[in-house]
Copies of this chain bind each other. A is one copy, B any other.
Amino acid sequence: MITIKDVAKEAGVSIATVSRVLNNSSKVSEETKRRVLDAINRLGYSPSLIARSLAKKDLKTNVISIVVPFFTRDFFVEVLRGINNVISKSDYSIHLYNVERIEDKERVFSKEVFNRCEGMIIVSLNMQRKEAEFIKEMGKPVVLVDSYYPDFSSVYVDNKKGAYMATKYLITTGRKKIAFVSGAIHDPLGFMASCKRYEGFLEALREAGLEFNPLLHIQTGFSLEKGYRAGKTLLNRSIPFDAVFCTSDIQAIGVMSALVESGLKIPEDIAIIGFDDISDARYLGLSTVRQPMSEMGEVGAKILLDLLMGFDSSYTHLELPLELVIRLTS
């Protein structure tokens, strides 16, 4: 490793002078500057960021950690995009951690990770009591996106209400037997969205005095194909239904194609409402509950940035609005 001393020796000056050239602080004669620059070039020297931060008492890493599950899913990609929009305009850079299994979670919520960053944004993962304690102990600002915990700032939507709105709309327009396609209600990683939406869905039914046949509930993954299969399964069970509410657009689109394939007319025979409002939804005319995905990311990132600036260390809890978007499928 080549240090500032080597450069100083090579250029025949003191290390202070080299440092001055490096930071072009105060005056250094042109002649000396050239000699130093030459030496730097000859040796291929590059100053140690570590030592520099130490000397400057700038003990910050200028890194923000983003913890996001399955970052290949539309929703997460959009959130990430929002976060990135904001962070990339600041001096911070992004450390990305993908969580797909429980072990990943442990790896991420560790001292090492927290020591390496100034703050953290956690997307969609539900906090366990123990985790929350640990994270609080780390003493770094943390913002939750699409998740809620009293002791951290957060941005989220009211998933229950969103599902309620959609279901209620279906009921209002005369649907009586509504199927429900969701992700896992009890997710091992702790996503709460499906669960909350299930609650909202049931509440709307209950309120209208409608029974729910559990055979009309499919729990499956978030992909076109899984949605398609869910649609097929529903049809195969030959329990009549006149609407489907899905916890994601991607599932809804899959379901829709299964139904269309079977010659059903949408929305005449069966209405469909999704959740998210991904770009395909608009294009396909899918009715859906729009959640501001990239905006959640943006807002979350902004809150974290504020926290890092030391403004206002109290917790912000921000609920962003959901909007029922009725298009052609309901």
A205-228 at interface with B (beta carbon < 8 Å): 223-225, 228
Of A29-37, A41-49, A196-204, A269-277, the one touching chain B:
A41-49
Contacts A50-B59, A71-B81 given: A116-B93 contact, CB under 8 Å? yes
Contact present for B94 and A96 (CB under 8 Å): yes
Q: How many copies does the complex hold?
A: 2
A48-B54, A72-B81, A223-B279 given; 11 more Cβ-contact pairs under 8 Å: A46-B115, A49-B61, A50-B59, A50-B61, A81-B98, A84-B96, A88-B97, A88-B107, A93-B96, A94-B96, A225-B282
User: B residues within 8 A CB of A283?
Assistant: 224-225, 228
Residue A104 interfacial (CB < 8 Å): yes
Taken together as a complex, chains A and B put the C-alpha atoms of A95 and B72 apart, in Å, by 17
Chain A window 48-85, contacts with chain B (Cβ cutoff 8 Å), 1 for yes, 0 for no: 11110110000101010010000110000110110010
Whole-angstrom distance between the Cβ of A62 and the nearest chain B Cβ: 8
A1-54 at interface with B (beta carbon < 8 Å): 1, 44, 46-51, 53-54
User: B residues within 8 A CB of A115?
Assistant: 46-47, 49
Nearest neighbor of A91 in chain B, beta-carbon distance: B112
Taken together as a complex, chains A and B put the C-alpha atoms of A53 and B54 apart, in Å, by 10
A-B contact pairs, 22 of them (CB 8 A): A46-B139, A48-B54, A48-B59, A49-B61, A49-B116, A50-B54, A50-B59, A50-B61, A51-B59, A71-B80, A71-B81, A72-B81, A77-B77, A88-B98, A93-B96, A93-B116, A94-B96, A94-B97, A95-B96, A224-B279, A224-B280, A225-B280
Nearest neighbor of A65 in chain B, beta-carbon distance: B93
Sorted nearest first, the 7 A-B pairs with minimum C-beta distance are A225-B283, A94-B96, A96-B96, A50-B53, A49-B115, A84-B98, A72-B77
Taken together as a complex, chains A and B put the C-alpha atoms of A272 and B123 apart, in Å, by 38
Contact present for B93 and A94 (CB under 8 Å): no
Whole-angstrom distance between the Cβ of A137 and the nearest chain B Cβ: 9
User: B residues within 8 A CB of A96?
Assistant: 66, 84, 93-96
Nearest neighbor of A107 in chain B, beta-carbon distance: B88
Whole-angstrom distance between the Cβ of A7 and the nearest chain B Cβ: 15
Contact present for B93 and A279 (CB under 8 Å): no
Taken together as a complex, chains A and B put the C-alpha atoms of A139 and B46 apart, in Å, by 9
Whole-angstrom distance between the Cβ of A136 and the nearest chain B Cβ: 11
A151-195 at interface with B (beta carbon < 8 Å): none
Whole-angstrom distance between the Cβ of A100 and the nearest chain B Cβ: 9
Taken together as a complex, chains A and B put the C-alpha atoms of A113 and B84 apart, in Å, by 16
Whole-angstrom distance between the Cβ of A189 and the nearest chain B Cβ: 15
User: B residues within 8 A CB of A54?
Assistant: 48, 50-51, 54
Whole-angstrom distance between the Cβ of A133 and the nearest chain B Cβ: 14
User: B residues within 8 A CB of A66?
Assistant: 96
